[in-house]
Amino acid sequence: MTRRRLLTPIVAVATFVALASGGAAAAAWIASASVNATASSATVATTLAQSGNLATTYRYTGTTSTSASGSLVLTNTGRTPLTYTLAAQTTGHATLAQKTALSLWTGTCGTTVPATGAVTTTLADAAPALPAAARTIAPGASATVCLATRITGADASASNAALQGQSITVAFTATGSAGANWKAAASAPAFTQSVYRVGSAGAVSCSANWWSRGVTLSWPAPANRVAGSPVAYRVVDTRTGGEIAAVTVDAGTASVSFDGYAIAQNGTHALAVEARDTVSGSISAVNPTIAITRTTPWNLGVLFPTLQCP
C-alpha cells in the first residue's frame, strides 16, 4: 500500500517533465518556422540601368579635361525596402583611374556638378558612396543617380602627358540589402574611358629634288587625326634627336622639302616623323625610319651637299 502511494507522485512528476520538455521544443520550432516564413516572403530584387556618355576619349590641354556624364537608375523590384551600396570595378591604367574624378548626385543630371550634395571621389574608389537620397529605396520605387567624370591633376611634367594613350574600363554594381542576410545585386555594362594620343604618321616616301640636290619626304596623316585640327610634324634625326624640318598641316597627307644643308654631316641618316596634335599637345611615337644619305664633292662635308633617297 505504501509503495503504490510513492509511485503515483513519481509518475506525475515524470509526466510533467516530459510534457514541459516537449512543449518547449514545439515552441522553438514554431518560432523558427515563423521567422523563416517572414524572411522568405519578403522578396528581395533590384535592377540597375545605365545611360549617358560615360564611354569617352578625353582630348584636352592643360591638366583638367572636359566632363563625361551619365546616370544610374536603381529600381527596387522586390517587396521590401532596400538599403543600397555601389561598387566600381576598374581595370586598366591605375594612375588614370586615380586622376579621374567621379561625382555622384541626385537631381538634374548633366556635366555640371552641383555645388552641394554631391559625392566626390575617383574611379579608383572600389566602393563609391551613393548620395543620401539613393541609399534607401522603397518597394517599387526608383532613384536616379547622376554621374560625371573628368581628369584632374597633373603629373611630374605639370601636364598629364604620361596619361596620353592610356585607358580604363569601369563596371558599376548596385547591391540592395534587407537586413544582414538578404541581398540582391545588379550590374551595368562596362564602359571604357581613354586619353587621346595622336597616332604615328604613316610610312614615309622620298623623292629627289635634282634642282636643289635635296629631297621631299611625304607621309599619310595619323589614322586618328581629328579633321579640322592641324597636326604639327617634325622630321628628326633619330641618332641625334635633332630637328631636320617641320611643317603644320590640316590634311590627310603631309610633305616637307629640305636640302643637304639641313643635315650637318655626310653619311646615311635614319630620319623619322613625329606628329603633335595642336589642340591637346599630344605627341605621337615616331614612325618607322627612312634612310637618307648626304654626300659632298670630294667628301669635303661643307660645299654643295646632296641628299639621296634610299
Q: Among residues 165, 195, 225, which one ends one of the domains?
A: 195
pLDDT of residue 88: 98
Q: Per-residue pLDDT for 8 more than 90?
A: no
Q: How sure is the predictor about 154, in pLDDT bands with cuts at 50, 70 and 90?
A: low
The answer to whether 127 and 174 have CB atoms below 8 angstroms apart is no
pLDDT of residue 156: 57
Give domain status of residue 166, yes or no: yes
Report how far residue 219's alpha carbon sits from residue 273's, in angstroms, rounded to the nearest whole number: 9
Q: Are residues 189 and 50 in the same domain?
A: yes
pTM recorded for the entire structure? 0.79
The answer to whether 278 and 248 have CB atoms below 8 angstroms apart is yes
Q: Among residues 195, 225, 259, which one ends one of the domains?
A: 195
CA 244 to chain centre: 38
Nearest to 80 by CA among 145, 140, 35, 144: 140
The total number of residues written for the chain in this structure:
310
- The mean pLDDT of the chain is 87
Q: Per-residue pLDDT for 247 more than 70?
A: yes
pLDDT of residue 13: 36
Give domain status of residue 8, yes or no: no
Stretch 221-239: mean pLDDT? 95
Full domain range(s) for residue 162: 46-195
CATH for 238:
2.60.40.10
Give domain status of residue 106, yes or no: yes
Report how far residue 52's alpha carbon sits from residue 49's, in angstroms, rounded to the nearest whole number: 10
pLDDT of residue 18: 37
Q: Among residues 142, 164, 195, which one ends one of the domains?
A: 195
Give domain status of residue 9, yes or no: no
Give domain status of residue 217, yes or no: yes
**63 or 48, greater pLDDT:** 48
Tally the domains of the chain.
2
